[in-house]
């Protein structure tokens, strides 16, 4: 499951991040890594960009990057 399968307000656990190393590292430093809990706050027009809550931070990521994050809905 990826971000596309979540609805606004859904919570999920990150199962795997399948992205280039440096992008993966950036996501890690923002709190998005295997085992981290996220909440989907919003998706922009045509779901091209997503807004997530990770801990106390609000993180925006584009659709292609989001597609590389495997999730488990909780």
Partner 1 sequence: MEDIKLLLVGNPNAGKSTLFNALTGGRAKVGNWHGVTVDVLERKAVLGEKRVTVCDLPGIYSLASMSMEEKLTRDYLATHDGTVVFVSECAGLERSLPLFCALLQKGRAGVLVLTKRRSFLRRGGSLNESALSQKLGVPVLIADGKRGFREKLASVLPVSPPAQTIRAEDALADAYTPVREGLSRLDGLLLSAPVCIPLFFSLVLFTFFVTFAPNHLGDILKCAIERLFTQTLAGAASGISSPILKSFVADGLLGSLGGVLCFLPQIFILFFALLMLEESGFLSRLAYLTDGFFGKLGLNGRAVFSLLMGFGCTSAAILTTRGLDDKKIQRRVVACLPYIPCSAKLPVFLTLAVSFSPNPFLAAAGLYALGILLAVGMAFLLRGKEKAPFVMELAPLQIPRPLFVLKSLLFQLKQFIIKVATVVLAFFMLSWLLSSFDFAFRLCPVEESMLATLCGGLRFLFAPIGMNDWKIAYAALSGLIAKENVAGAIAMFFGGFPYSGASGFAFAVFMLACSPCVSAIAATARELGAKRALVYAVLQTVGALLLSYFVYFALSGGAVTLVLVLMLVAGAIIGRIIYERIRRKRGKHPEKFHG
* Encoded tokens for 52: 């997530």
- Nearest distance, CB of residue 5 and partner 1, angstroms: 20
Q: Which of 62, 72, 73, 74 binds partner 1 (CB under 8 A)?
A: 62
Instruction: At 55, give phi and psi (nearest 5°).
Output: 60, -125
Q: Which of residues 11-40 bind partner 1 (CB under 8 A)?
A: 19-23, 25-31, 39
**7 counts as binding partner 1 under rule CB under 8 A:** no
**Tokens 């989907």 correspond to what residue?**
40
Q: Which is nearer to partner 1, 15 or 60 (CB)?
A: 60
- CA 47, CA 50: separation in Å to the nearest integer? 7
């Amino acid at each position: 499951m990826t971000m596309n399968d979540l609805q606004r307000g859904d919570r999920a656990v990150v199962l795997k991040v399948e992205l280039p190393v440096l992008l993966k590292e950036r996501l890690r430093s923002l709190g998005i890594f295997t085992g981290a809990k996220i909440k989907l706050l919003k998706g922009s027009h045509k779901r091209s960009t997503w807004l997530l809550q990770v801990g106390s931070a609000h993180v925006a990521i584009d659709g292609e990057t989001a597609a590389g994050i495997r999730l488990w809905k909780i």
